[in-house]
Amino acid sequence: MRERHAGPLRGRAQDFESFVAGAAGRLLHTAALLTAEPADGPGAGPHARRLLTASLARTFADWERLRDEDPYDRTRQELAARFAREAWRHHRPRGGLLSRLTPQERLVLVLRLYEEVPEEQTAALLGLPEDRVRAVCNRSVATMRGTRTPTARRGPARLLGAAP
């Protein structure tokens, strides 16, 4: 009985390993941008690595049910949702590229500009109106360009469905 199931399980694991080999680098960079951690150097990005590992574990658990769904897209959605739920952990800047931004600003900026997720999909993923996503993205870009000073850091806001 065990031998009968070994073949499909091995194939499933190999397919997933191939996916991870191709996508893990970009997804880790996305996670590092979200957590505002430096992505280079030994031991860099422990929060980003944990975030990515949990997201990949969820993708692996759902691997058989993905069917025609893009596993990269699914993992990115899981990564964004996990980051949003754990935003309070990522509120304090850690020296990464986007550390000047609030967690919500980082999430919207990374999804829209780095991952090139369309505005309407970003809004749906975060449970925000499209005009709110647009405003947050514009504010984030202005902050990064230096044309807007970062606002005083407030307590962590709920990112999914948060009010302005």
Taking only the tens place, the pLDDT of each residue in 103-122 is: 999 999 999 999 999 999 99
pLDDT digits (tens, 9 = 90+) for 22-75: 999 999 999 999 988 876 666 668 889 999 999 999 999 999 888 889 999 999
User: Are residues 63 and 9 in contact, defined by beta-carbon separation less than 8 angstroms?
Assistant: no
Question: What are the residues whose beta carbons fall under 8 Å from the beta carbon of 16, sequence distance 6 or more?
Answer: 59, 60, 63
* Higher pLDDT, residue 53 or 7: 53
Q: How many CB atoms lie within 10 A of CB 25?
A: 10
The mean per-residue pLDDT over the stretch 89-100 comes to: 73
pLDDT band at 146 (very low <50, low <70, confident <90, very high): confident
Give the type of residue at 130: E
Residue 147's SS3 state is: coil
State the pLDDT at residue 158: 46
State the pLDDT at residue 150: 53
DSSP state of 109: H
**pTM for this predicted structure:** 0.79
pLDDT band at 138 (very low <50, low <70, confident <90, very high): very high
pLDDT digits (tens, 9 = 90+) for 77-89: 999 999 999 876 6
State the pLDDT at residue 153: 45
The mean per-residue pLDDT over the stretch 131-143 comes to: 96
The mean per-residue pLDDT over the stretch 138-148 comes to: 89
In the block, tokens 């109106």 appear at 129
Q: How many CB atoms lie within 10 A of CB 120?
A: 10
